[in-house]
C-alpha cells in the first residue's frame, strides 16, 4: 500500500499501530436490568431451543438470529461470550448509513480515523482493526487500512465482534472483527427501489430484486445495485460510485445448496487528498482553516475497484450435521495521480509548504478456500455442538509509484489561499514499489459443551501458519510464523433473560519490520480477557450487554531510529495494555422503539504504565434511536448522537520558541435527526439531518496532518417496495 513520503512524514505505519485498558465489578447486572422495564418483561415469550442454522434476517431492526463470528458456531448474541454489535438493514436505511464509515461511527467502541479522503483506519479498544470478513470469510488488510468506502447496499446486516478473534479470524490485532452478511435470495418475490438527494449536489439510486427463478422455487436469485455521484463540502472534491451484486442459489436435492455470487464496487473520486492539512504553524500555534479547505489539486484522484466472486456448496449430512465448502476470489485495484503537501507554514508569511506529487497504482488479489463441518453430538447423556474446518488463502500484492524530481519541493501557498492549481507532472523520472505474496493455512476446532441446563462451556483452537515473501519499497517483506491460538468461554444463564459470561482469546500478527541488527521483529501477540452480563428480550429482538475487558498487545513495531550507514529505519517492539468497560444495546424495544449504540470507557497504557495513543478517545458514546409515533400511523422519528472526549497528539516537533508542539481536539458531539413517513405499505420518504449544530472538528489525529469533518448537511430518500 502506498505510504506517505517517509522522509517527510515522521509517522510510520508501525508507530501508528496499537495500545489500551478495564476493571469494575458486577453493577453490570443492574445496568442491564435497567434496560428492561417491567412492561417489557411481561411481554416476553419463553426462550426457544438453541439455533443450529443461520437464520435469514428480515428487514427489521437489529433482529435476533445467530452469528458464528467469534466461535465458528452459530450462536445468538446472548450465547456468544464476547461483546457483539449488529447493525441491521432498517437501521442502515433509517439513518442513511450508506458506507461502512457511517455504520462504524455509530457502533459501540469503534473509532473511525479518516486520515484522508480515501483512506481510513478503524480501531476498537485502542487497537487498529484489520479484519473485515464477508459471510465469515476474509483476510486482514494487507496495509492495515481501508481504501475507498465500502458501500452497505449489498449487505443485510453488519456484525462487529470486539476483542481478539484468533479462532474466527486467525491473524490480526486484538481489536475487533467486522463481518458483512450479504443479502441472499428469497423464495418469495420482493424488491425495492430508492432515490436519494442530498447536500452538495449528491444523488443516489438503489435497486434490490429477489425471488424464485423457476416455478418450484428451487432456483432463486437476487440482484442489488446502487449508483451515487455528487460534490462535497471539500474544495475540488467529488465522488462517483457504482455498486452491484448478483447471487444465485440452487437446491441440488433435498440436502444440498449451491450458491454462486459476484459483487463489484467502483469508486471514482476527484480532488482526493494524499495526506491532509498542516495542523500547526512554525511558532507552534494551531492552524484554523475553513472546513472546506483541501490540499488536493484539480487533477488529484485515488480511485479503486473491488471485485469479488464466490461459490459455496452446503450439504446436510443428517443428524444435525452439515458440510460447507467455499471458494472465494477477490481483486482490489486502485490508484491515480496524488499530491502531497509537506512542511510547516509560517504564521505571518504562509511560507514553508512544499509539493510532493506522485503517480500510484496498486493491486491486491486474494484467493481463499474453506472446508467446514458443524453439528451436534451426544456425550455423557447430553447434546453438545462441534465445528471443524480447514482454511487456505493466498494474497498477491503489488504496487508502483512514479515521480518527477523537478515537481518535488516546489514552494506552495497556504491551503487557505490556494485554488488547487499545479501543473500535472509526467511522472517519468524514477519509480519505486512493492511485490509480495502472503500465504495462510489454518485448521480449527470449536466445541460448545452443555455442562448443565444453564451452563455452557465453549473451547476451541486454531492452528495457523502464515508466510510471506517479496519486497515493499526497498524493504524485504518476508516472514514464516506458526501459532496455535486457543479460545475459552463460559456462559451461565441466570434466567430466561440474563446470562453471565467470561472468555479468553488470543491472536497474532506477523510483521516485517527489523531491529537495529536487521533482524525481523517477532509477531505481535494479542490477548483479550472479557467478562460481563448479557440480556435478551422479545425472542432476541432486543439485546444488551455490559462488558469488562483487558486487552494486551505486545511487541508492536515502533520506530527506534535510522541506521547512520544505510539510512534505513529500524524498529523496536513495544507493549501496550487496554482496560475498560462497554455498555452495548441493540434491537427493538416493545413495538415502537429501535435502539442501537453504547458507551465505552478505556485506559491505554504502555509497557511502563505511561499513556499511549492519545489520539484515541478514552470515552465514547454512540446512540441511534427511532420511535414510531402513536396516533400518527406511518410516522417514525429518530435521532443519533456521536460523542467523544478530548484527544491530542504530540507532533514530535519543536516550535520556534523551543517548546513542544501539541495538537488538541476538544470533546465534541455530532447530533443527527431522522424522520420517516410511510405513505402506505409500498411508499416511504426519509429525511436525515447530520451534524445539526454545525460542529467544526478534525476527522483524526492518527497522523500529524488532518482535515475537517462535514458541516451540517441533509439527505432526502424516497423508497418504493414491491
Q: How confident is the model at residue 39 (pLDDT cuts 50, 70, 90)?
A: very low
Distance CA 617, CA 649 (A): 11
Residue 146 grid coordinates? 481501508
> What is the SS3 assignment for 185?
coil
Residue 543 has pLDDT above 50, yes or no: yes
Residue 542 and residue 567 in contact, taking contact as beta carbons nearer than 8 Å: no
Residue 376 and residue 319 in contact, taking contact as beta carbons nearer than 8 Å: yes
Q: What local confidence, expressed as pLDDT, does residue 62 receive?
A: 43
- What Cα–Cα distance (Å) separates residue 87 from each residue in 177, 226, 295, 504? 14, 19, 34, 25
Each residue's pLDDT tens digit, 494-511: 999 999 999 999 999 998
Q: What is the DSSP string of 449-497?
A: EE-SSSEEEEEEEEEEEEEEEEEETTEE--EEEEEEEEEEEEEEESSSS
To the nearest whole percent, how much of the chain has pLDDT over 90? 82
Each residue's pLDDT tens digit, 47-58: 333 333 333 333
Distance CA 389, CA 154 (A): 27
> What is the SS3 assignment for 539?
helix
Q: What local confidence, expressed as pLDDT, does residue 535 receive?
A: 97
Residue 11 has pLDDT above 70, yes or no: no
> What is the SS3 assignment for 242?
strand
CA quadruple 620, 57, 714, 679: dihedral sign: negative
- What Cα–Cα distance (Å) separates residue 488 from each residue in 147, 460, 525? 34, 6, 17
> What is the SS3 assignment for 114?
strand
When pLDDT is averaged across residues 698-721 and rounded to a whole number, the result is: 98
- What Cα–Cα distance (Å) separates residue 312 from each residue in 211, 221, 257, 320, 332? 19, 14, 8, 19, 21
Q: How confident is the model at residue 5 (pLDDT cuts 50, 70, 90)?
A: low
Q: How confident is the model at residue 309 (pLDDT cuts 50, 70, 90)?
A: very high
Please tell me the class of the 69-160+183-196+204-721 domain.
mainly beta
Q: What local confidence, expressed as pLDDT, does residue 38 receive?
A: 34
| Start-to-end C-alpha separation, the chain | 43
Which of 493-502, 562-571, 685-694, 696-705 is the least confident region? Answer: 562-571
The secondary structure element, H or E, covering residue 110 is strand 110-114
Half-sphere exposure of 501 (CA within 13 A, CB side): 28
Q: What local confidence, expressed as pLDDT, does residue 430 receive?
A: 86
When pLDDT is averaged across residues 91-113 and rounded to a whole number, the result is: 98
When pLDDT is averaged across residues 645-658 and rounded to a whole number, the result is: 95
Q: How confident is the model at residue 64 (pLDDT cuts 50, 70, 90)?
A: low
Angle at 472 between CA 468 and CA 473, to 5 degrees: 165
Residue 272 and residue 295 in contact, taking contact as beta carbons nearer than 8 Å: no
When pLDDT is averaged across residues 660-684 and rounded to a whole number, the result is: 98
Q: Which residue has the higher pLDDT, 365 or 417?
A: 365
The secondary structure element, H or E, covering residue 322 is strand 321-343
Each residue's pLDDT tens digit, 140-169: 766 667 778 899 999 999 999 999 999 999
Residue 99 has pLDDT above 90, yes or no: yes
Look up the pTM and report it: 0.90
Q: Which residue has the higher pLDDT, 143 or 41?
A: 143
Q: What local confidence, expressed as pLDDT, does residue 250 receive?
A: 98
- What Cα–Cα distance (Å) separates residue 266 from each residue in 103, 292, 301, 511, 715? 20, 25, 13, 30, 22
Amino acid at each position: 500500500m502506498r505510504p506517505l513520503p517517509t522522509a517527510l512524514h515522521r509517522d510510520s505505519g508501525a508507530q501508528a499501530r496499537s495500545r489500551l485498558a478495564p476493571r469494575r465489578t458486577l453493577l453490570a447486572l443492574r445496568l442491564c436490568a435497567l434496560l428492561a422495564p417491567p412492561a417489557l418483561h411481561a411481554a416476553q415469550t419463553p426462550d426457544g431451543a438453541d439455533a443450529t442454522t443461520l437464520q435469514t434476517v428480515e428487514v427489521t431492526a437489529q433482529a435476533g438470529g445467530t452469528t458464528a463470528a467469534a466461535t465458528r458456531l452459530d450462536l445468538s448474541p446472548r450465547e456468544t461470550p464476547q461483546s457483539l454489535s449488529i447493525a441491521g438493514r432498517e437501521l442502515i436505511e433509517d439513518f442513511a448509513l450508506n458506507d461502512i464509515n457511517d455504520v462504524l461511527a455509530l457502533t459501540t467502541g469503534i473509532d473511525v480515523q479518516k486520515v484522508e479522503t480515501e483512506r481510513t483506519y478503524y480501531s476498537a479498544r485502542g487497537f487498529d482493526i484489520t479484519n473485515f470478513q464477508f459471510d465469515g470469510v476474509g483476510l486482514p488488510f494487507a496495509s492495515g487500512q481501508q481504501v475507498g468506502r465500502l458501500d452497505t447496499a449489498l449487505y443485510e446486516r453488519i456484525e462487529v465482534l470486539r476483542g481478539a478473534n484468533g479462532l474466527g479470524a486467525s491473524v490480526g490485532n486484538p481489536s475487533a472483527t467486522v463481518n458483512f452478511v450479504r443479502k441472499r435470495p428469497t423464495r418469495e418475490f420482493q424488491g425495492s427501489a430508492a432515490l436519494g438527494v442530498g447536500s452538495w449536489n449528491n444523488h443516489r439510486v438503489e435497486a434490490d430484486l429477489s425471488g424464485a427463478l423457476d416455478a418450484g422455487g428451487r432456483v432463486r436469485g437476487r440482484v442489488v445495485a446502487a449508483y451515487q455521484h455528487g460534490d462535497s463540502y471539500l474544495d475540488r472534491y467529488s465522488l462517483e460510485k457504482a455498486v452491484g451484486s448478483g447471487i444465485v442459489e440452487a437446491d441440488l436435492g433435498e440436502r444440498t445448496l449451491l450458491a454462486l455470487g459476484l459483487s463489484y464496487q467502483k469508486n471514482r473520486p476527484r480532488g482526493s487528498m494524499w495526506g491532509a492539512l498542516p495542523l500547526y504553524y512554525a511558532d507552534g500555534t494551531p492552524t484554523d482553516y475553513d472546513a472546506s479547505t483541501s490540499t488536493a489539486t484539480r487533477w488529484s484522484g485515488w480511485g479503486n475497484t473491488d471485485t469479488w466472486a464466490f461459490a459455496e456448496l452446503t450439504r446436510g449430512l443428517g443428524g444435525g450435521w452439515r458440510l460447507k465448502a467455499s471458494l472465494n476470489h477477490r481483486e482490489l485495484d486502485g490508484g491515480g495521480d496524488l499530491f502531497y503537501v509537506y512542511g510547516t507554514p509560517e504564521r505571518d508569511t504562509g511560507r514553508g509548504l512544499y509539493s510532493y506529487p506522485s503517480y500510484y497504482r496498486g493491486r491486491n488479489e486474494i484467493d481463499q478456500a474453506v472446508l467446514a463441518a458443524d453439528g451436534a453430538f451426544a456425550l455423557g447423556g447430553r447434546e453438545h455442538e462441534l465445528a471443524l474446518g480447514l482454511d487456505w488463502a493466498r494474497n498477491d500484492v503489488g504496487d508502483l509509484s512514479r515521480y518527477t524530481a523537478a515537481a518535488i519541493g516546489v514552494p506552495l501557498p497556504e491551503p487557505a489561499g490556494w485554488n488547487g492549481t499545479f501543473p500535472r507532472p509526467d511522472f517519468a523520472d524514477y519509480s519505486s514499489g512493492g511485490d509480495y505474496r502472503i500465504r495462510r493455512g489454518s485448521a480449527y476446532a470449536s466445541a460448545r459443551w452443555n455442562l448443565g441446563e444453564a451452563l455452557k462451556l465453549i473451547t476451541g483452537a486454531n492452528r495457523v501458519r502464515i508466510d510471506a515473501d517479496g519486497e515493499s519499497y526497498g524493504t524485504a517483506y518476508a516472514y514464516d510464523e506458526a501459532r496455535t491460538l486457543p479460545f475459552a468461554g463460559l456462559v451461565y444463564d441466570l434466567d430466561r433473560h440474563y446470562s453471565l459470561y467470561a472468555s479468553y482469546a488470543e491472536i497474532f500478527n506477523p510483521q516485517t519490520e527489523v531491529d537495529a541488527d536487521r533482524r525481523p521483529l517477532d509477531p505481535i501477540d494479542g490477548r483479550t480477557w472479557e467478562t460481563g452480563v448479557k440480556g435478551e428480550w422479545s425472542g432476541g429482538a432486543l439485546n444488551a450487554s455490559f462488558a469488562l475487558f483487558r486487552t494486551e498487545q505486545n511487541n508492536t513495531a515502533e520506530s527506534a531510529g535510522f541506521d547512520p550507514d544505510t539510512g534505513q529505519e529500524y524498529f523496536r517492539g513495544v507493549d501496550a495494555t487496554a482496560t475498560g468497560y462497554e455498555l452495548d444495546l441493540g434491537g427493538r424495544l416493545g413495538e415502537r422503539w429501535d435502539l442501537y449504540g453504547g458507551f465505552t470507557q478505556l485506559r491505554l497504557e504502555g509497557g511502563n504504565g505511561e499513556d499511549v495513543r492519545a489520539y484515541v478517545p478514552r470515552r465514547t458514546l454512540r446512540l441511534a434511536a427511532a420511535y414510531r409515533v402513536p396516533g400518527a400511523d406511518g410516522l417514525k422519528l429518530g435521532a443519533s448522537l456521536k460523542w467523544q472526549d478530548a484527544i491530542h497528539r504530540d507532533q514530535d516537533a519543536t516550535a520556534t520558541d523551543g517548546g513542544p508542539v501539541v495538537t488538541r481536539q476538544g470533546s465534541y458531539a455530532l447530533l443527527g435527526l431522522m424522520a420517516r413517513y410511510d405513505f402506505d405499505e409500498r411508499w416511504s420518504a426519509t429525511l436525515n439531518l447530520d451534524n445539526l449544530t454545525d460542529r467544526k472538528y478534525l476527522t483524526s489525529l492518527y497522523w500529524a496532518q488532518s482535515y475537517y469533518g462535514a458541516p451540517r448537511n441533509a439527505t432526502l430518500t424516497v423508497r418504493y417496495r414491491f
